[in-house]
Structure 1
């Protein structure tokens, strides 16, 4: 049974096409379940849309939900369309986001750390002129944020948990294994899943998020897994699903999960 819980569309400002185009692509790819999970607005900002090329405006959010629910009804019996959102995680603004989400019938919320210390995790320049000790501190802080997101109770899935390597492949070699292990322990204790996100292959790192090494440790700490292509164009919906399933079985996983009505649904591997 194929599913993909991580897809975007034009509202975020950096993805192509309409929601329905992704649903049609899911049908074509043989998915039984597709989740729509565009980027959350910056709810804590005083501005309507402070970053038009990154996330939708606040006034678009209700229309986004309405469109997904309409398409869910339209495609009932053909493909199960789930209402999700990829939410930024800012510890200082968590309650603002929590209050907004409480007003909508989400099937799941993906919690993703996209900024650390006010700088995008994808910004290559953040690593310039840092000492080895400073690089380790940056990596530790990143995983501390992810651990906090797991414990926040806001999310069912955590997005791309080593995405800092996306445009800085050397990130993976920074010695901070104890910080990753501590983070994975928190995730395992919090009963949230991590996604295997195949969009990493489109970045400089050239591989899925997270790495096999992190997945092996995640299994050790009892962390459950889900799947998301993180498609920003319909042609990527469901990409590498079979390859990911094969690799997870090789690592030792026997199941993965999608979420409906915020409840985990088990899918055997």
Structure 2
């Protein structure tokens, strides 16, 4: 069974193609199931669309859900279409996001930390004036936020948990946050959720996947489940490197990975 739970489309403002384009690409790639998981609006902001190039407008959210549900019916029997969303995690606004998501029949919600200390994790400049000690603290803070997101009970999947390395590959070499990373992996296991293996790192400066093999090995040690997401922002990347990820997981020692249907974990043997 082949699945991809992390795809975007044109509503977020930095992806190309319609939802249907991604579904058709999923069929072409031989997927059994495809999850549509575009970036959530900034629900706690007063403006309808404060960041047009980052996330969809609040006024588009219900239309987004309706379109996915319509296409789920249209393509039934050809591919299973799953309703998801990639949600930003803002600790002080979590109640607001939770109240919105409860209104809709999501198959799963991906929780992703895209900002720490008010700065994007993909901002290269955030590292330029930091001392080595400050870099360690930044890394610890990032993983504390991810741990907290895992403990909220809102997310079924944690997205790209070492994506801070995307445009700063040296992030992986910063030592001193190993305990915080282990805390994340324990939280994934304790809350019976899943860690995403995200192949979009291959499109960034760091190359490779999120997370690195060293983290996946620790995830296996703690009994954390994993899932797959291409994080496709163009239809041609749907299912990208799925077979390679499956083979690598087997080498590490994983026996299974999972996807979600109506927020229930579906186990797929490797």
What range describes the TM-score normalised by the shorter chain of this pair?
A: over 0.9
User: Within the alignment, does 1:253 sit opposite 2:224 as a pair?
Assistant: no
TM-score, length-scaled by structure 1? 0.99
1:174: Cα distance to partner? 0.5
Deviations 1:105-135 (A, max 9, x none): 0000000000001110000011011011100
Q: Which residue of 1 aligns with 2:113?
A: 113
1:39 corresponds to which residue?
39
CA distance in 2, matches of 1:196, 1:115: 20
- Is 2:264 the partner of 1:267? no
Aligned mates of 2:90, 2:144 — CA distance in 1: 12
Q: How does 1:15-54 map to 2 (within 5 A)?
A: 15-54=15-54
Within 5 Å, give how 1:146-185 maps onto structure 2. Answer: 146-175=146-175, 176-185=177-186
* Structure 2 residue 200 is matched with structure 1 residue 199: yes
Partner deviation per Cα, 1:117-168 (whole Å, 9 max, x = no partner): 1110000011011011100000000000000000000000000000000000
Q: CA deviation at 1:216?
A: 0.2
Cα shift readout 1:163-211 (whole Å, capped 9, x = no counterpart): 0000000000101212111221122111110110000000000010000
Structure 1 residue runs of 4+, over 6 Å off? none
Deviation at 1:229, TM superposition (A): 0.2
- The alpha-carbon deviation at position 58 of structure 1 amounts to 0.2
Take 1:118 and 1:242, find their aligned partners in 2: how far apart are those partners?
A: 37
Q: Quick one: distance in 2 between partners of 1:126 and 1:184?
A: 26
RMSD between superposed Cα atoms in Å: 0.5
Gaps of 5+ in 2: none
Structure 1 residues not aligned, in runs of 5+: none
